[in-house]
Structure formats: structure tokens, C-alpha cells
Amino acid sequence: MANMRQLFIFLAAIFLIWACSTQKATVKVEKTKPVAKVDSVEYDIEMFDSKFETWYLTHKKPSMNRSLQYYENWNKKYVIAWNHKSMEMGKGSFFAPIVGYHSREEYGFELNHKLFYYFQYVENVLNIQIMPGGPKVVADN
């Protein structure tokens, strides 16, 4: 047993010496110039009315476009009115899905344009008033 113990200590010592004496590989880290980050957040609108897409494609006319600010301002008002009706009427109402539109977020022209036209579609085609005094950009059914 003593020989086994001495052999174990001897092997452990050799292993320890070998582990400490081997050359470790080193990695050189070089500083690089920082790469500019690009914000790649994309937003999309999910419509629950399948007829809206067809209607939208036939009614969006570049000559009738307004400014981004125009669409943003109206969308803020419409979203507040929509979400108020959604909470007021409950889950069974037409307004059940709350619109997650935040006024400080930059959604871009396309999304704001499409959202505005959706509100126009609901008010002028489906004849469901979201808020009184809204614009009547699209009047035909």
C-alpha cells in the first residue's frame, strides 16, 4: 500500500510539473474601429379584415398622399379613440384588438399611410365611426 501511495504522489508531482511547464497558447486581440450600428427594426400592420388589402390597393393614390406628419397626427387621434372604444366595449366588440401605436416611435411613411387608410376604410366603407370629426379623405365605397 505504501508503494501505491508513493507511486500516486510521484505521478501527481510529474503531472503537476508538466502542467505548469507547458507553454500556453496566447491570443492577440487587436483593437478595430467601431462599426456603426444600423437600426433594423421593422414594423408591420396585421389587419383582420381580408377585404381591406384589396380596397387599400385600389384607393392608395400617390397623387393624394399627404405628409408623414399629417398621417402621424391623425393616427395618434384615431388610435386613442380606437383603444378607448376597445376598453369601453369589451372583447366582443369590433374594436377588441387594441392598436399598439406609440406616438414617440418612428414607424415610417408606409406604415402610417396604411394605418390611416385602414381608419378611413372602417369609417367610410364599413360605416363604423371611430371618432367624430375625422377627415373624409376617401368617400367612395
Range 123-128 contact pairs with CB under 8 angstroms and sequence separation of 24 or more? 125/55, 126/49, 128/94
Longest CA span, the chain: 103
DSSP 111: H
Under DSSP, the state recorded for 63 is G
Which one, of 133, 136, 139, 121, lies nearest residue 51 by Cα?
121
The answer on pLDDT for 26 being more than 60 is no
Give the pLDDT confidence of 62-117 residue by residue, as tens digits: 867 899 999 999 999 999 999 898 888 766 677 777 788 888 889 999 999 999 99
Mean of the per-residue pLDDT values for the chain? 76
- One-letter amino acid for residue 37 of the chain: K
Higher-confidence residue: 6 or 48?
Answer: 48
- Give me the pLDDT at residue 77, please: 95
Structural domain boundaries in the chain: 66-141
* Mean pLDDT within 16-36: 51
